């Protein structure tokens, strides 16, 4: 019962304190729930003991100021302005020299004057071309536009856009070459007279030709030793007859034969050559050694009509 009375007493005190006209506090964030105090009952002695009253005022924590949170303004992010880009310059047709050294000229052709020489690897802008498209106009050498043949360069770039140059001046006239000095014509050497042949066989007496009714030209040659016919026949040599028919040969024998035997016209011979058909014209008869070298003067005859028998004579000294 005593304990119940104690609780009633404490509850009355609390109500009294709550009823005090304290100034209403500024609204604060919800405070943390204060734990209720706990009381431990004191055991009662036989005699009543005075009870100590404890002020159980509720501990109110000091409110903590909360920093206001700045709301982000709903402004859009700045958009970077586009930067202006440079417009690329149009590509230019180029020519690169490929020869170790290449000539350039004042016009599109080798009949124009030389304007200089370029080394391999040099690069120039192509500013024009000739109508045939086999020469390029380059810019520039020593401030001057020059021309170069297509086969001397490698080209790149927009060649289709290269303009044809139509105002190219005509090439200068080609100077006529100076006449060459006349070549001295060597004076032909005067022909040396052939040495006079020295024959070891000489002609003997001339015997007139004789007629022959047969269509044959006959040569009865006689070669004698020392004196004809007493010295005897000289054999081993050859009689050569040349004429309209060509050439004929015969070898002199070591003995004589008789022509027209027993007649006043009888004659001696040791070689005989006959030309069938009796072609008219000039004939020549001479003696050669066995090697074919001429060793005598020649007898010359003209065959005409029926005079077709000839008796050439020679003597070996």
CATH value of 94-161 in 3.40.50.720, 3.40.1180.10, 3.30.70.890, 2.30.30.40 = 2.30.30.40
Q: Chain-wide mean pLDDT for the chain? A: 79
* Cis peptide leading into residue 229 (ω within 30°): yes
Cβ neighbourhood burial of 145 (10 Å; 0-12, 13-18, 19+): middle
Report if pTM > 0.85.
Answer: no
Cβ neighbourhood burial of 296 (10 Å; 0-12, 13-18, 19+): buried
Q: What is the pLDDT of residue 69?
A: 46
Task: Decide if pLDDT at 303 tops 70.
Answer: yes
Q: What is the pLDDT of residue 302?
A: 92
Task: Decide if pLDDT at 130 tops 80.
Answer: yes
Give me the mean pLDDT over the 196-210 stretch: 80
Distance CA(251)–CA(235), nearest Å, equals: 8
Task: Decide if pLDDT at 30 tops 90.
Answer: no
Task: Domain ranges for the chain, please list them.
Answer: 94-161, 202-316
Band of residue 298 on the pLDDT scale cut at 50, 70, 90: very high
Give me the mean pLDDT over the 174-198 stretch: 68
CATH fold group of domain 202-316 = Immunoglobulin-like (2.60.40)
For residue 13, what are its two tokens? Answer: 């005190």
Q: What is the pLDDT of residue 95?
A: 94
Task: Decide if pLDDT at 33 tops 70.
Answer: no
Q: Which residues are CB-contacts of 285 (< 8 A; sequence separation ≥ 6)?
A: 219, 221, 239, 240, 241, 298, 299, 301, 310, 312
Task: Decide if pLDDT at 239 tops 50.
Answer: yes
Distance CA(89)–CA(180), nearest Å, equals: 58
CA 247 to chain centre: 64
Neighbours of 177 (CB within 10 A): 6
Band of residue 118 on the pLDDT scale cut at 50, 70, 90: very high
Band of residue 253 on the pLDDT scale cut at 50, 70, 90: very high
Task: Decide if pLDDT at 38 tops 80.
Answer: no
Three-state secondary structure string covering the chain:
CHHHHHHHHHHHHHHHHHHCCCCCCCCCCCCCCCCCCCCCCCCCCCCCCCCCCCCCCCCCCCCCCCCCCCCCCCCCCCCCCCCCCCCCCCCCCEEEECCCEEEEECCCCCCCCEEEEEECCCEEEEEEECCCCCEEEEEEECCEEEEEEHHHEEEECCHHHCCECCCCCCCCCCCCCCCCCCCCCCCCCCCCCCCCCCCCEEECCCCCCEECCCCEEEEEEEEEECCCCCCCECCCCEEEEEECCEEEEEECCCCCEEECCCCCCCEEECEEEEEECCCCEEEEEEEECCCCCECECCEEEEEECCEEEECCEEEEC
Give me the mean pLDDT over the 262-289 stretch: 92
% of the chain at pLDDT higher than 90:
46
Tell me the C-alpha to C-alpha distance, in Å, between residue 43 and each of 36, 38, 47, 48, 202. Answer: 22, 16, 11, 11, 203
């Amino acid at each position: 019962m005593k304990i119940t009375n104690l609780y009633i007493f404490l509850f009355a005190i609390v109500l009294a304190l709550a009823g005090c006209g304290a100034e209403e506090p500024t609204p604060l964030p919800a405070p943390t729930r204060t734990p209720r105090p706990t009381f431990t009952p004191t055991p009662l002695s036989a005699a009543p003991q005075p009870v100590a009253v404890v002020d159980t005022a509720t501990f109110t924590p000091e409110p903590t100021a909360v920093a206001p949170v700045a709301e982000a303004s709903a402004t859009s992010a700045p958009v970077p302005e586009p930067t202006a880009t440079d417009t690329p310059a149009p590509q230019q047709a180029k020519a690169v020299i490929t020869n170790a050294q290449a000539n350039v000229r004042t016009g599109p052709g080798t009949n124009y004057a030389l304007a200089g020489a370029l080394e391999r690897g040099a690069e120039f802008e192509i500013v024009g071309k000739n109508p045939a498209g086999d020469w390029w106009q380059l810019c520039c050498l020593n401030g001057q536009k020059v021309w170069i043949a297509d086969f001397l360069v490698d080209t790149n770039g927009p060649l289709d856009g290269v303009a044809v140059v139509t105002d190219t001046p005509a090439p200068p006239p080609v100077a006529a070459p100076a006449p060459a000095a006349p070549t001295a014509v060597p004076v032909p050497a005067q022909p040396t007279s052939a040495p006079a042949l020295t024959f070891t066989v000489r002609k003997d007496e001339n015997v007139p030709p004789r007629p022959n009714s047969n269509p044959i030209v006959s040569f009865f040659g006689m070669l004698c030793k020392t004196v004809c016919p007493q010295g005897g026949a000289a054999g081993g040599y050859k009689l050569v007859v040349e004429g309209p028919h060509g050439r004929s040969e015969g070898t002199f024998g070591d003995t004589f034969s008789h022509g027209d035997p027993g007649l006043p016209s009888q004659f001696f011979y040791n070689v005989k050559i006959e030309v069938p058909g009796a072609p008219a014209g000039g004939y020549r008869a001479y003696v050669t050694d066995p090697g074919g070298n001429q060793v005598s003067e020649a007898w010359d005859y003209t065959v005409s009509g029926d005079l077709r028998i000839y008796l050439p004579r020679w003597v070996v000294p």
